[in-house]
Amino acid sequence: MIPLLLLFLLLPSTFCLICPKEYYLVNDSKCLKAAWTRATHSEAESNCTASGGTLVNIKNAIDNHAVFNFANTAGLDYIWIGLSCFANTTSSCFWDDASGSAASYSNFDPYGPNYSGDRNCVFMWMSAGYPARWSSSNCGNNFAMYSYGYICEAPPTLNGNPYHSMLPACNYNYNRKCYMRSDDYGKLYSNQSAANNFCLQNGYTSGLASIHSKIDVDFIRSLYKGTNTTHVYIGAE
SS3 annotation, 12-67 = HHHCCEECCCCCEEECCCEEEEEEEEEECHHHHHHHHHHCCCEECCCCCHHHHHHH
Which of 157, 200, 150 minimizes the C-alpha distance to 17? 157
- Give the distance, in angstroms, between the CA of residue 21 and the centroid of all CA atoms in the same chain: 13
CB of 35 to ligand NAG, least distance (A): 5
The answer to whether the beta carbons of residues 57 and 15 sit under 8 Å apart is no
Nearer to ligand NAG, 31 or 178 (CB): 31
Specify the stretch interacting with ligand NAG by CB under 6 A; choose among 65-73, 126-134, 160-168, 170-178: 65-73
Q: Tell which positions 34-53 bind ligand NAG, by CB under 6 A.
A: 35, 37, 39, 43, 47
How many Cα atoms are found within 13 Å in the side-chain-facing hemisphere of 112? 11
3-state secondary structure of 114: coil
User: Is position 66 an interface residue for ligand NAG (rule: CB under 6 A)?
Assistant: yes
Nearer to ligand NAG, 47 or 159 (CB): 47
- Phi and psi, residue 192, nearest 5°: -70, -35
CB of 149 to ligand NAG, least distance (A): 8
Class of residue 47 by CB neighbours under 10 A (exposed 0-12, middle 13-18, buried 19+): middle
Nearer to ligand NAG, 96 or 177 (CB): 96
**Binding characters for ligand NAG, 74-113, by CB under 6 A (x = yes):** --------------x----------------------x--
Specify the stretch interacting with ligand NAG by CB under 6 A; choose among 11-19, 63-71, 77-85, 167-175: 63-71
* 194, 200, 203, 213: residue in contact with ligand NAG (rule CB under 6 A): 194
DSSP code of residue 150: E
User: Is position 228 an interface residue for ligand NAG (rule: CB under 6 A)?
Assistant: yes
Q: Interface residues with ligand NAG (CB under 6 A)?
A: 27, 35, 37, 39, 43, 47, 62, 65-66, 69, 88, 111, 114-116, 189-191, 194, 227-228
